Chain A
Amino acid sequence: MSQVEPSMSLSSPRMHLQLNLGQKTGLVLGFSGLLLQILAFAGVALPAPVLVLTLSLLGMGGGILLYGWASYQGKPAGIKNNGVWANSLSNRGLWGWISTLAITALYVLLYFFPQALGQGSNGAANTGLVGLFDPLSQFLKKQNASQWFVYGVLYTLGILVMGFKFIWKYRHNRYQVIRTCSVMFFQTGIAFLLPEFMQRLNQPYYDFKNMWPLDYDFFEENQMQYLLQSGGVGLFMIVFGVLMIFIVSPVLTYFYGKRWYCSWVCGCGGLAETVGDPFRQLSNKTLKAWQLERWLIHAVLVFAVLMTLATLFAIFHKNPTGYYVNSLGMAIISACIFGGLALLLWFRPQAFKGLNPQVKVAATAILAVLVLASASGYFLGNPDIFFVPSDWLKAWYGFFIGAIFSGVIGVGFYPLFGSRVWCRFGCPMAAILGLQQKFFSRFRITTNGGQCISCGNCSTYCEMGIDVRAYAQKGQDIVRASCVGCGICAAVCPRGVLRLENSALDVHTRAGEERVIRFGENGAFIEA
């Protein structure tokens, strides 16, 4: 073999993206629909708004549907990743940057400059893009649109049409098909249509699948009063929300892992799995990124919990015998948290073995901060957390986490850092579910003996940036806090090595050490 330095051409294959007629037509159709919205945004007076809105939504939705269908039709079912790294949209090329700028700009306008989108302020009529959506909003809930309605429509449309594309792409894989139907249903039915219809019926706006702490102002006073004012339905919503947090979520996470929420129900997850699918390979797989992830996501969780505590104190400080939380309630909640931890330590000590000492120190410090913060606020009768007014905390959380992190960066940066930036680095809900998944869940990804060929498809296509291969090639079961159970690693594996499974047996022993090959009297075998 001659000593040749491989040239750069291998790192950027000279593949030419060939679009077929259907894909080209889909693109033209989609961009035409988008153009109508851009015209509306630019303030161009458009005749027949109902017609224009219908045409633009049909154009965008239909264009993507056609593009998706044309991409895979006529080809045998199977993994369809040809040219992913040769496409400038999905390899951080020109189109990737253009889309990043466009989506980021949209989020900045949505959160901070809704007037620029045409949102009427102080009772003024909507104009521009928001105005374009008035007819649809009137049709659904007999109110004019807001920038959030526009966002909701586009978000839902995106999940639906890109969900269809995803299903068509993975039509050979029943897990993917059913899972994608689930996120499409929860977004369209539960997150979008149900709340809109509830408003039409003069009931409160409530997204049943949005849970604290992702829904960080769930416990906020205004929100509680808003729900309670509408009587029985609102009370039901509060009870439902609390049940979700303390009963439904822990039980489901114990049995199936956090995937029941993150890749089957959640709206952020739904967007990531559908609209974000072309970008999943862009997540960072390095050890450094994992370290950053652990600090960041748990910091956000602590921030969210502190803010919520502050909110709760504020409520029952003003209303000591109040409706929602009194000292008994506080005691019960604390007992649940610490009792749960104690039970975990007692019954699952193996879950904590092999844990990095730094992690133990960090976890203890975080708990101490939370306990001190709660105690100081509670016993001093002061609604502040460490003398920081709770509304400050909430405002800063809303700005940095709610808007910048989850929206602008979380979605806007899809084409740069992959589709799960928010879910991986920021989401406090994912953090809680992840802690439970790591220490108290039956869910793991099992690896199939010694069949791994270390090719790297699993790691590359992991949207959460988990180096799946590192485990697979050692034959270890994978128990990772961040895994959302999308199942794509198992789908893209060319050798049938990975499987998403649930069982309470041996979770942590099988995830422990290198298990590929051991030596016995009868030769090499895999240790059971």
Chain B
Amino acid sequence: MHIVIIGNGISGITAARHVRKLSEHQITVISAESGYFFSRTALMYVYMGHLRLQDTQPYENWFWEKNKIALKRALIQKIDHHAQVLTSHEGEEIHYDKLVIATGSKPNKFGWPGQNLGNVHGLYSLQDLEAMEQGSQGLKRAVIVGGGLIGIEMAEMFHSRHIPVTFLVREPSFWNHILPHEESEMVNRHILEHGIDLRLGTELQEILDDGQGKAGAVLTKNGERVDCAYVGLTVGVTPNIDWLKGSALEINRGILVNKHLETNLPNVYAIGDCAALREPQPGRKAIEAVWYTGRMMGETLAHTLCGQPKVYDPGIWFNSAKFFDIEYQVYGQILPKTPDDQANLYWEHPTGKKSIRLVYEKSSGAIKGFNLMGVRYRQEVCEKWLREKTHVETVLQNLGLANFDPEFYPQHEQHLLEKYEQQSGKKLPLRQKRGLNAVLKFLQKAKS
């Protein structure tokens, strides 16, 4: 059986690796973007000089041949699902028995005047990075539009090369449709600390031509003009499926898939950023364009492809990011505005660069989520508490189990207990400090 995977990102490659683990099927991975799998999330570090491009490749080049995963460089333009044949840009035809579409995302553009000028780019692909590299030569100022994870990454990138940045954020506070108020404020402060010209509550009106078909300035809806020679558009991403419009595939924003990641066409599957679940789980979105869900989809689908059908179930939500120097981790459900039936426990370090937030259900006391800034928590422990709907008081007294900060780092669990005492009047002792022994015993209990 020939399994063809379009897209060599984390979803497609994870699917390929696991198909190989489970079977001897013929595997071909096709990419227009790059010859080898690289970590998309690491592109920023190439620009900043932390890594070389080859350092972002998780596998050495011999890995693919050794594991009999054929890599093909081509841009696929057409699917004939009756004949089960793909046609590439160059007219080459590739037959498949099973097809996996994992073509990822592309940066959003919302119809702004000037959005197609030169030196106006998002940051998603290798080619975007290339454009950014070229646009950076002699650059006096960059404007970034869109206050999300890619926007702040781009700000850090330009900043690393001493290029002044104006950062336009439509919302009144950074990423505040995801982060609760305090954490969002913390990131605002940190962006300013790095000397970024952060403009909150500011929307893009228009990108002006410099007279040579390239970006020369932006106008904001407040009527301000910012001269710049590069504009980064980082207002989210959308599935990269334009090439499928007009095909027999059922598509809305993304390629519609059922819980087995099957599309409406036989032997055609979609995973990763480009797939939209017909029935996402409660509290989850149909399209979750993050690394982790892409990887999980890849592993799930591999089982289905190899005759061991598995239902895609992403489990308990988690994510992570880094805002300049502040690391961010989240486990479980943290909403920007806590619902009325839930309560918050929030502690912030006096430096304003670290915080811990626990959210729990008021009625039952069950823990709902952890939001960490500048503090590392252990996913396995948090997951177990969340899955078992552990009472917040039990969590608090054993909070050291979750602490994943390096050795000698100050432990802040006691502060959370003090906060809890202030809020509830209950004084609880801290029973468990940081340490792996206790963690492993705690996790082993899960099995019984």
Contact = CB atoms under 8 A, between A and B. Distances in A.
Interface in A167-211: 172-175, 178
B231 interface: no
Interface stretch (B203-211, B248-256, B375-383): B375-383
Given A286-B60, A453-B42, A454-B39, A495 B190 contact: no
Interface in B41-89: 41-42, 45-58, 60, 73, 75, 89
A11 B53 contact: yes
A495 B327 contact: yes
B406 to A, nearest CB: 5
A501 B272 CA distance: 34
Interface in B206-258: 240
A75 to B, nearest CB: 8
A10 B126 contact: yes
Interface string B112-130: 0000000000000111011
B39 A516 contact: no
Given A85-B49, A502-B436, A524 B313 contact: yes
B11 interface: no
B264 to A, nearest CB: 24
Interface string B277-296: 00000000000000110011
B329 A6 contact: no
Interface of B is mostly: mixed
Given A173-B406, A496-B329, A10 B162 contact: no
A2 interface: yes
A6 B383 CA distance: 40
A335 to B, nearest CB: 32
B32 interface: yes
Contact of B46 (A10, A174, A469, A473): A10
A367 B437 CA distance: 34
Contact of A451 (B75, B134, B318): B318
Contacts of B314: 523-524
B346 interface: no
A371 B153 CA distance: 59
Nearest to A459: B55
Contacts of A453: 39, 41-42, 291, 320
Given A86-B49, A528-B380, A76 B190 contact: yes
Contacts of A11: 52-54
A340 interface: no
Contacts of A457: 42, 45, 50-51
A287 interface: yes
Contacts of A487: 406-407
A473 B127 CA distance: 25
Contacts of B439: 503
B110 interface: no
B436 A4 contact: no
B434 to A, nearest CB: 10
B379 A526 contact: yes
Contacts of B48: 81-83
Nearest to B281: A523
Contact of B387 (A18, A175, A525): A525
B168 to A, nearest CB: 22
Contacts of B384: 528
A494 B75 contact: no
Contact of B322 (A13, A14, A495, A503): A495
A209 B32 CA distance: 56
B10 to A, nearest CB: 7
B260 to A, nearest CB: 13
Interface in A84-132: 84-87
A286 B62 CA distance: 11
B315 to A, nearest CB: 4
B310 interface: yes
A234 to B, nearest CB: 37
Contacts of B423: none
B1 interface: no
A79 to B, nearest CB: 7
B407 A500 contact: yes
B139 to A, nearest CB: 11
A449 B378 contact: yes
A381 interface: no
A508 B85 CA distance: 46
Given A460-B50, A502-B436, A3 B75 contact: yes
Contacts of B303: 519
Given A11-B52, A454-B42, A83 B440 contact: no
B315 A85 contact: no
B161 interface: yes
A522 interface: yes
Residue picked from A455, A470, A473, most chain B C-beta under 10 Å: A455
B447 A83 contact: no
A251 to B, nearest CB: 18
A287 B60 contact: yes
Nearest to B376: A496
Nearest to B106: A1
Contacts of A451: 292, 318, 320, 329, 379
A450 to B, nearest CB: 6
A175 B444 contact: no
Residue picked from B46, B58, B106, B161, most chain A C-beta under 10 Å: B58
A321 interface: no
B130 A4 contact: yes
A451 B329 CA distance: 9
B348 interface: no
Given A10-B126, A76-B194, A81-B48, A496 B404 contact: yes
Contacts of A174: 406-410
Interface string A1-42: 111101101110111101000000000000000000000000
B224 to A, nearest CB: 27
A448 interface: yes
A1 B436 contact: no
Interface string A494-511: 111001111111100000
Contacts of A173: 406
Contact of A454 (B58, B324, B440): B58
A429 interface: no
Contacts of A369: none
A522 B125 contact: no
B383 A13 contact: no
A173 B410 CA distance: 10
A178 B55 CA distance: 29
A78 interface: yes
Contacts of A450: 292, 295-296, 318, 379
Interface string B14-41: 0000000000000000001110000101
B160 to A, nearest CB: 4
B379 A522 contact: no
Residue picked from A453, A459, A499, A502, most chain B C-beta under 10 Å: A453
A456 interface: yes
A175 B160 contact: no
Nearest to A90: B49
Interface in B400-415: 404-410
Interface in A472-513: 473, 487, 490-492, 494-496, 499-506
Given A11-B52, A456-B58, A491-B406, 17 more contacts: A1-B75, A10-B129, A11-B54, A15-B49, A16-B161, A79-B50, A82-B160, A82-B161, A85-B49, A453-B320, A454-B42, A456-B45, A473-B58, A495-B321, A495-B329, A505-B437, A526-B380
The 5 tightest CB contacts between A and B, nearest first, are A449-B379, A523-B313, A78-B325, A496-B376, A455-B42
19 contacts: A6-B127, A9-B130, A10-B129, A10-B130, A15-B161, A76-B325, A79-B325, A82-B160, A287-B60, A450-B295, A455-B51, A457-B50, A459-B55, A495-B322, A496-B329, A499-B376, A506-B444, A524-B313, A525-B383
Interface of A: 1-4, 6-7, 9-11, 13-16, 18, 76-79, 81-87, 172-175, 178, 286-287, 446, 448-451, 453-457, 459-460, 469-470, 473, 487, 490-492, 494-496, 499-506, 516-517, 519, 522-526, 528
